[in-house]
Amino acid sequence: MKVYLGVDVGSVTTKFVLIDEYKNILTSCYLKTSGDPILAIKQGLKHIETTAPSSATIQAVGTTGSARSLAGVVVGADIVKNEITAHAVAAITRVPEVRTVFEIGGQDSKLIIIRDGIVEDFAMNTICAAGTGSFLEHQAVRLNVPIEEFGKLASQARQGVRIAGRCTVFAESDMIHKQQLGFGKPEIAKGLSEALVRNFINNLASGKSIEGPIVFQGGVAANQGIVEAFRDFYQREMEIVVPPEHGVMGAWGAAILAFEYAPRESAFQGYSVVDRSFETRSFNCEDCPNSCEVVGLLEDGKVKALWGSRCGKWTPQSAQSRFTGVENGIAEVFGYRS
């Protein structure tokens, strides 16, 4: 059975999706990256190996997400694509008439404008936490409410209290102020949901033509309070679709791209990747004022891939000694292991 793997490694979560030739999801997983993307990749691959149909043979691999290049080297990707493309491809597959995509993840958020099945414009927020899942998680901790309960709590409120949510620091002090005025947790949870939606719209949608159907995806789309806040924002006049696979849309898009661009022979490294040992190291190149931080992925002391050199002067071979202190070639001759 021919199958295709998509991997989406973000700063907060890592997602894997395995699809068949009809783009149907056979198995998937959603894990915390927990600051160790290589470990998360290994755990995800192990899950896919144990849950995939026994006859499944991976024909191609696609990676996306902020650590897509790293994931591409570790897993062996045939195609490496940015998150905008991967999310748009999945949204178009699920809702072919989609005209706007809202994607809110743990650490960033995206808005994609699609017309006639093609990405026309997009905006990304990777800097301000106020329009992302981390904003909600942070405030949920302050309210002493499990994040899973947050949406349910917000839906119990008849009306949300207005919270200044332009920035997480202001939101926190305003939230405490509103608590002191006697507002209950449901009103505050609803107010925070509305604040997140206002931030998302202010940060990403200004000057853009938002048209429905909107596909709302990303981990935060599981929060019914936010879905309702978006519906209220558009006065219930905009169609907002939350697909069942909303949490793994990036990985699904990467798998679809792998299917569409499948080479004759895949670069997939096999499930044995979980038993291999990788590490990341870096050095600062001071050969010009750019002072690039060059990051290398090493396996058994050998540099497998590099990132961060703006001029491209470093190759895995030329950077070997900078990472290991051992001249090129010597590593193999003397069996050196860093």
Q: Which residues bind ligand SF4 (CB under 6 A)?
A: 285, 287-288, 290-292, 309-311, 313-314
The one-character DSSP state at 305 is E
Of 145, 246, 234, give the one whose Cα is nearest residue 190: 145
**Which residues is 28 bridged to in the sheet?**
17
Comparison of 207 and 312: residue with beta carbon closer to ligand SF4: 312
Helix (H, G, I), strand (E, B) or coil at 212: coil
Query: Per DSSP, what are the bridge partners of residue 110?
Result: 103, 124
| Cβ–Cβ under 8 Å, residues 267 and 5 | no
- Concatenate the DSSP letters of all residues of 84-99 into one string: HHHHHHHHHHH-TT--
DSSP string, 239-287: -EE--TTGGGHHHHHHHHHHHHT--SS-----GGGGGS-EEEEEEE--S
Say how far apart CA 302 and CA 7 lie, in whole Å: 24
- Residue 307 or 336 having the CB closest to ligand SF4: 307
DSSP state at residue 160:
P
Query: Least distance (Å) from ligand SF4 to the CB of residue 323?
Result: 14
Of 48 and 285, which has the nearer Cβ to ligand SF4? 285
Residue 309 Cβ vs ligand SF4, minimum distance, rounded to whole Å: 4
Please answer whether residues 4 and 52 qualify as being in contact, where contact means their C-beta atoms are separated by less than 8 angstroms. no
CB–CB of 225/187 below 8 Å?
Answer: no
Looking up tokens 């050199």 gives 309
Least Å from the CB of residue 283 to ligand SF4: 10
Q: Choose between 38 and 292: whose C-beta lies nearer to ligand SF4.
A: 292
* Smallest distance, ligand SF4 to C-beta of residue 287, A: 4
Question: CB of residue 338 vs ligand SF4: minimum separation in angstroms?
Answer: 22
Minimum CB distance to ligand SF4, residue 288 (Å): 3
Nearer to ligand SF4, 188 or 295 (CB): 295
- CB of residue 331 vs ligand SF4: minimum separation in angstroms? 22
Closest to ligand SF4 by CB, 97 vs 287, is 287
91 versus 295: smaller Cβ distance to ligand SF4: 295
Q: Is the Cβ of residue 34 or residue 291 nearer to ligand SF4 in the bound state?
A: 291
Minimum distance, C-beta of residue 38 to ligand SF4, in the bound complex (Å)? 24
Q: Where in the chain does DSSP place strands (E)?
A: 2-9, 13-19, 25-32, 57-64, 79-80, 100-104, 109-115, 118-125, 214-217, 240-241, 278-284, 293-299, 302-307
